[in-house]
Amino acid sequence: MGENDEVFFLKNFTENREWKIENRFTTLSFCVLFSIFHSLFSFFCYNRFVTKKYKENTMEKIKIGWFSFSCCEDSTIMMTELMNEHWQDWKKMFDFRHARVLKTNNIMDEFDVAFVEGAIAGPDQEEKVKEIRSKAKKLVAVGACAIVGLPAGQRNTFTEAQLAEVQFLIDRFGALPKVLKVSDVVKVDAEVPGCPMNTDAFLKAVDVLVKELRPQT
């Protein structure tokens, strides 16, 4: 190999080596930048997910109580039927603190809304609905028995002779002399009429209460 060939070889080798180093550096830089971008994007997505879940979990739910007194509990049946369609939304908004039809571990502490169906037929029921009222921001009378006292309170319309025939039952169960509608005992904030309750009226009442209690939702 001549001197010129040797110089040419060294020059070629050096240039090729520099190109490879530069190319490797470019590739490495791209990989680093891509890794940084990917990490930032992943962090951004994760942060949004965590923030969303945090808001969902920490947003105070509306505390609900559902109570039944003297009635056939047909409005309770209608409420559970409505859950088939609305459960996914309701479970995000509502904390069912007390609802025997839904759970066994019921809590009697405080309620944003207490729904009460049924007439008040005994002293124990009278005291119970007073306790519910004291713990509830809003109380909603649901169904005809709760609102007008009928048909559960039919004995209020009995003649003296008819009343005499059932007096032993009234005495045995320690019932009140007259069956009372809920508003006879406590303040009622809203009513959902019907026997069973009108579901459209119920959903409308729920919507109004949600907007009043949680206007940000």
List the one residue out of 116, 178, 112 whose CA is nearest residue 147.
116
List the one residue out of 123, 146, 5 whose CA is nearest residue 66.
146
Lowest mean pLDDT, pick from 18-32, 59-73, 160-174: 18-32
Average pLDDT for residues 57-83, to the nearest whole number? Answer: 91
Averaged pLDDT score across all residues of the chain: 83
Average pLDDT for residues 118-142, to the nearest whole number? Answer: 98
Global pTM?
0.72
pLDDT at residue 114, as a whole number? 98
CA distances from 167 to 13, 21, 151, 176, 178 (A): 117, 105, 18, 11, 12
Pairwise CA distance, residues 140 & 187, whole Å? 9
Average pLDDT for residues 50-61, to the nearest whole number? Answer: 54
pLDDT at residue 46, as a whole number? 46
Average pLDDT for residues 115-119, to the nearest whole number? Answer: 98
Q: Sort 44 into a burial class: Cβ within 10 Å, 0-12 / 13-18 / 19+.
A: exposed
Residue 183: band (very low, low, confident or very high) from pLDDT cuts 50, 70, 90: very high
pLDDT at residue 216, as a whole number? 72
pLDDT at residue 215, as a whole number? 81
Q: Residues 87-96: pLDDT tens digits? A: 999 999 999 9
3-state secondary structure of 167: helix
Q: Which residues contact 214 (CB under 8 A, 6 or more apart)?
A: 60, 62, 93
For the chain, percent of residues with pLDDT exceeding 70:
72
Residue 75: band (very low, low, confident or very high) from pLDDT cuts 50, 70, 90: very high
With a cut of 80, say whether residue 53 has pLDDT above it: no
Average pLDDT for residues 110-131, to the nearest whole number? Answer: 97
